[in-house]
Structure 1
Amino acid sequence: MTFSTRPEIQGTFGVVTSTHWIASAVGMKLLETGGTAADAAAAMGFTLHVVEPHLNGPLGDMPALVRSAGDTAPHVICGQGVAPAGASIAHYRSEGLDRIPGSGLLATVVPGAFDAWMLMLRDHGRLRLRDILEPAIFYARHGHPILSRVAATIEGLSDFFRNEWPTSYETWLPRGRAPAAGVLFRNPALADTWERLLLEAEAAKGREAQIEAARRAFYQGFVAEAIDGWMRQACVLDASGTAHKGVMTGEDMAGWQASYESPLSVDYEGWTVWKAGMWSQGPTLLQSLRTLEGSGIAEMDSRGADFVHMVTEAMKLSFADREAYYGDPDHSDIPTDTLLSREYAEERRALLGAEASLTQRPGRIDGFDRQVDAAVARAKASEEALGGGVGAGEPTMAHLSEKRGDTVHIDVIDRWGNSVSATPSGGWLQSSPVVPGLGMPLNSRAQMFWLDEGLPTSLAPGRRPRTTLSPSMAEEPDGTRHAFGTPGGDQQDQWQLMLFLRFVHSAMNLQEAIDAPLFNTSHFQGSFDPRAVRPGHLMVEPNFGEAVIADLRARGHAVEVAEPWTIGRLTAACRTSDGLLKAAATPRLMQAYAIGR
């Protein structure tokens, strides 16, 4: 028996879905005015910077999968910025650090989101840059009803902002008061930034020229100059408990651009699934699918204990490999072909047992023993790690502090069959002080790096951090095309794996598959400060039922039962081979919405 909280949206003109209803409405408006999926997604992204500032910002990161109607596969747009030239292990160690703080200026890499949106617009959009930015300017200038979670985050940090991050205090507590949930909240400095950027961009002739002018204004012009000038003199308290100066400069920004890459993919039960490269956590989903092939997962009830146990154990193996092997392939030798091979998966599948595993078990690939040993040692040292400071880390939804950041997600398919799946993040209001005059804070993605030499995730200038951000696309044997994703840090590919398996093996529609109960594990090395490890941990929603939960505990899982309807923020869209469009969004937290006609 299936259950659905709301209808699966269907139509033929276009569908949009995101983690906030205002952004979804903005995206649909752009489609209605003749825009493509890229136009709609970009306008949604800039709107989400305004209405969910605790989850993403313009100085954050943004990987996306973009597929044109005639393409046989999507392209990856890499909006993951790199470590600055001054970000060396020696420098961070000289600052008395053995781990990169989860907040503050040393946690910053080159902002990637803005240029990724501009690259997408230039090559896949139709509308003017003004059309894209005007909704965000409107909500920043005239206000939006602030979410209760945003208000709670600001309230919880009000004393800290007042005492340590005065630019954030001015932005998020206007007139010295934290905003109440539901009141109109404005960010006039952000609106001023976008209006100045448009003024400079529109001095150029033609749509593409204006987009290129906007890129220069951001990365070489007044935005970069404001960041550079402030970073050279600012010294602020961060999650380490000590004040530090940052190392990023305007030269770092001027020397970086978003880029295209080919995705990684696997086939599963006749489907093809695409993810970003080894600098993301996306390959964990691909590895998990390989491991689950031939495991009997197709015959399991996706609400039953067998399914939860088998998927959890497969994910533990994939995420152990993530810690040992993943990183920026431009800077490290990564055995990608081996990790995604069926031969390797067969070895890993043999480790799936009847009991919950309680240790970290990365696979052994010839020539990589040092990395594997280091990953196991780090995990052991991090077991049950607690702590972290202001702005540290990214939560698993409502289960952790309101002071932690998260992410947003966007899926769009237009009338022509073009599609976008994008996962903007970083630049949270709680991760870094607002840059004076810009109305936006920097990102904290550098906390993904380790301060140990010789690893694919070692801090190094010009290297991408191994991000958690992970949009998805897939195609069914009959040609139906899917775009889906979720916020959630280390949980993103866990929840997406469950969603995908329900697409393949159940009769559920998009909404039913999203509404079905979810789970996740924190058994493996966490990506965010304090990089915690919780052996055997398994969080489940209570609607799995008492019998399933008891069964999982009997298998040795350290089960944590979440509050009802609090795990996952999945959204999804698809286009069938005959042109029918569908979309869905999670009811959890009561703010994500799908729209279409």
Structure 2
Amino acid sequence: MFTTRPELRGTFGMVGSTHWLASQAGMAVLEEGGNAFDAAVAAGFVLQVVEPHLNGPGGDATLILRPAGGEPVVLCGQGPAPAAADVDRYRAEGLEVVPGTGLLAAAIPGATPAWLTLLRDHGTLEPARVLRFALGYAEDGHPVLDQVVRTVRGMERTFRDHWPTSAAHWLPVLDAVGRHGGTGTIVRYPALAATYRRLLDAAVGPTREARCEAMLTAWSEGFVAEEIEAFVRTAVVDASGSPHAGVLTGADLAGFRPGYEPPANADWRGHTIVKAGLWSQGPSFLQTLGLLDPLLPDGPELLDAFAHDGALVHTVLEALQLALADRDAWYGDADLTPGTDEAAARLAALLDPARTDERRRLIGAEASTDLRPGSLGGHEPRMAAAVRRSEERTDDPTTADTRTPQSSRETARPGPARGDTCHLDVVDRWGNVLTATPSGGWLQSSPTIPALGFCLGTRLQMTWLEPGLPSTLLPGRRPRTTLSPSLALHPDGTVTAFGTPGGDQQDQWPLVFWLTHALGGLDLQAAIDHPSFNTTAMVSSFDPRTWLPAGVEIEGRFPAAVIDDLAARGHRVRRAPDWSLGRISALSHDPSTGLLRAAANPRGMQGYAVGR
């Protein structure tokens, strides 16, 4: 199997992420004696600076950690809807869906509080030592990515016409690049640097933990909360084409703290697969594995089946489609009633073997063109009335991928500006493991708050303005996020952490990785490098909430016979560029030998793993 890089192997520590500077910052912390959680916080804050088109301090994050010798736990950095965010309020604004940009789509920011909570509870180093990398890159500068420049350039008209604070903050990037002759130019974000400095100045207390808590308080109850509340009171034009003020308040921020919770687990062929709960899309990965279990060959036979005919790819696509249809009908933040465990009961029902067997029988030889969620506990599934079929036509399987990221379109108004996501994984020599997917608060999501140097997220666009759905917009309810890191516990005790950016594809591309690694026997790097594919026949989690029946994206590295077979089965195939689907990083720890392994994705030309 061709690989672009070697799988890294060592015994001291490993960090993989979607940007080389974040990976190296995390590794520097490990070299200084910090643990995996210190390193993850350092890398997470660096990602806020160097990938601002993919995440920011005002976004959200999902983390899964496994302390050495302990059990996996989820740290939820997905903030809930503000107290004033409800269906009637948004409907009164003339809206049918939550806009994909602007201030009404902002949930309570959870990413930065989650990183600070992790540092407080599981780290060992002082905040200033961990945050100095992000502070330095914001204050002293860093080489700007091509993708950041393209995103700013694509949003320039919107910034000038509608979001003047973003124009003031981001258009100097274009000026700097123009003056110095291209991307890779050193850029600085002084307002963001000042925010980091103010948070660090607030880190006062008798213990390290108290100093971390003081930073959390400065965020949630201090100057950050005050600036956010003042800013969102001004109406700005959003994806609806009309101006709207936000509903987020300082009281909302003060009332939120990231929490720990048990993960969603499933046993699969001797492995325990660990995901976040039904407030994420993570359980769809577990459902898909259950659907596929008796249908998958092992070892070289699996790799041969992927490479030489479309039958296995078709089967995986149909299983994904079934699991994601269940996601769109049944997933959401269910436990709003104290003393109940509705989410656990719903998850158990979704993973019930008898139900899985029944659902598996729906997988036929031809592509399905319908959304097919299953019944649950005697209740029939219900899809949101606002779900619409996509008008996109892409029937020619030889057509190259022509998608233009919505963030790079020059628009007269701030339409649904699709961003993306980051990912990072860390393991240390003691066996602490963390996998995290931060996202939201992209530079193209909403206007920059000038006093803070960052934007708010738009995660509420994943809720529905229709009562009675598991993902209906409700005050205090978390939006059903796409953020979905993965952890796998192997029969021999090895722990593997992995994940990717990609929105609705975050439990699709890693599925190909996992199957080729766990069953196909490929090492981490070879499994990442294996060509990938995904379905688009699910309801988009992002505005405008459409779906493409029988839609498929598949890398052009797949043989023509596979692509032709999918088209013959009725799939609407879009052939993507050869190295375009996924930005996975992965690592593992074998406690019996102390061996650490790591790998990262060459796709996107940003991700790197480092270690020794």
User: If the TM-score is normalised by the length of the shorter chain, which range does it land in?
Assistant: over 0.9
Distance 2:95 2:296 in 1: 47
Deviation by residue 1:468-517 (Cα, 9 ceiling, x = unmatched): 00000001111111000000000000011111111221121000000000
Query: 2:262 corresponds to which residue?
Result: 262
CA distance in 1, matches of 2:589, 2:603: 24
Select the residue among 185, 188, 197 that pairs with 1:183: 185
The reply on whether 1:483 has 2:483 as its aligned counterpart is no
**Correspondence 1:178-327 to 2 at 5 A:** 179=177, 180-201=182-203, 203-232=204-233, 234-298=234-298, 299-300=301-302, 301-304=305-308, 305-327=310-332
Measured after TM superposition, the shift of residue 399 of structure 1 is 5.2
| Counterpart residue identity of residue 126, structure 1 | T
Which one of 391, 394, 397 corresponds to residue 384 of structure 1?
Answer: 391
Counterpart position of 1:120: 118
Code of the aligned partner of 2:132: E
Indicate which of 585, 591, 596 corresponds to 1:571: 585
Q: Is the 8 A contact 1:226 1:436 kept in 2?
A: no
Measure, in 1, the Cα distance between the counterparts of 2:84 and 2:391.
Answer: 32
> Is 1:373 equivalent to 2:382 in the alignment?
yes
Equivalent residue, structure 2, for 1:60: 59
Give the letter aligned to residue 456 of structure 1: P
Distance (whole Å) between structure 1 residues aligned to residue 173 and residue 75 of structure 2: 40
Name 2:142's counterpart in structure 1.
Answer: 144
Q: Which residue does 1:538 correspond to in 2?
A: 552
AA of the residue aligned to 2:467: E
Report what 1:513 is aligned to: 527
Identity in percent: 52
The residue type equivalent to 1:227 in the other structure is: I
Specify the alignment match of 1:343 in structure 2. Answer: 354
Q: CA deviation at 1:529?
A: 0.4
Letter in 2 for 1:211: C
CA distance in 1, matches of 2:113, 2:133: 19
Question: Is this contact kept in 2: 1:15–1:413, CA < 8 A?
Answer: yes
* Alignment map for 1:31-46 (pairs within 5 Å): 31-46=30-45
Query: Who is 1:391 aligned against?
Result: none
- Measure, in 1, the Cα distance between the counterparts of 2:123 and 2:574: 45
Alpha-carbon distance in 1 for matches of 2:176, 2:533: 34
Q: 1:9 to 1:519 in 2, by over 3 A?
A: same
Question: Who is 1:427 aligned against?
Answer: 441
1:401 aligns with 2:399: no
Where do 1:4-83 residues align within 5 Å? 4-71=3-70, 73-83=71-81
Partner of 2:541: 527
Q: 1:178 to 1:538 in 2, by over 3 A?
A: farther
Aligned to 1:393: none
Q: Compared with structure 1, are the counterparts of its residues 175 and 348 closer, same or farther at alpha carbon in structure 2 (3 Å cutoff)? A: closer
Q: Any stretches of 5+ residues in structure 2 without a counterpart?
A: 394-400, 409-417
Alignment partners' CA distance in 2, 1:104 and 1:178: 27
- Please state how far the C-alpha of 1:368 moved relative to its aligned partner: 2.6
Aligned-pair CA distance for 1:555? 1.1
**What amino acid sits opposite 2:577 in the alignment?**
E
Q: Distance in 2 between matches of 1:153 and 1:484?
A: 27
1:446 alignment counterpart: 460
Mapped to 2, the partners of 1:536 and 1:378 lie a distance apart of 19
Distance 1:266 1:435 in 2: 42
Q: Matched residues in 2 for 1:398 and 1:428: separation?
A: 19
Q: Is there any run of 5+ residues in structure 1 with no aligned partner, and where?
A: 387-395
Q: Which residue in the other structure is 2:607 paired with?
A: 592
Alpha-carbon shift at residue 385 of structure 1 (Å): 7.4
Q: Distance in 2 between matches of 1:118 and 1:277?
A: 22
Change over 3 Å in CA distance of 1:266–1:486 after alignment to 2: same
Deviation at 1:173, TM superposition (A): 1.3
Correspondence list, 1:460-499, <5 A: 460-499=474-513
2-side partners of 1:544 and 1:593: how far apart? 24
Letter in 2 for 1:561: R
- One-letter code of the match for 1:374? M
State the distance in 2 between where 1:175 and 1:61 align: 25
Are the aligned partners of 1:522 and 1:537 in contact in 2 as well (CA < 8 Å)? yes
How far, CA to CA, are the matches of 2:239 and 2:332 in structure 1?
24
Paired residue secondary structure (1:209): helix
CA contact (8 A) 1:427 1:442 kept: yes
**Partner amino acid, structure 2, of 1:293:** D
Amino acid at match of 1:303: A
Cα pair 2:149 2:174 within 8 Å, conserved: no
- Picking from 583, 592, 597, the partner of 2:598 is 583
Any conservation in 1 of the 2:235–2:246 contact (CA below 8 Å)?
yes
Greater Cα offset, 338-347 or 210-219? 338-347
Per the alignment, residue 110 of structure 1 pairs with 108
Q: What's the RMSD between the two structures over aligned residues?
A: 1.6
- C-alpha distance in 2 between matches for 1:398 and 1:3: 27
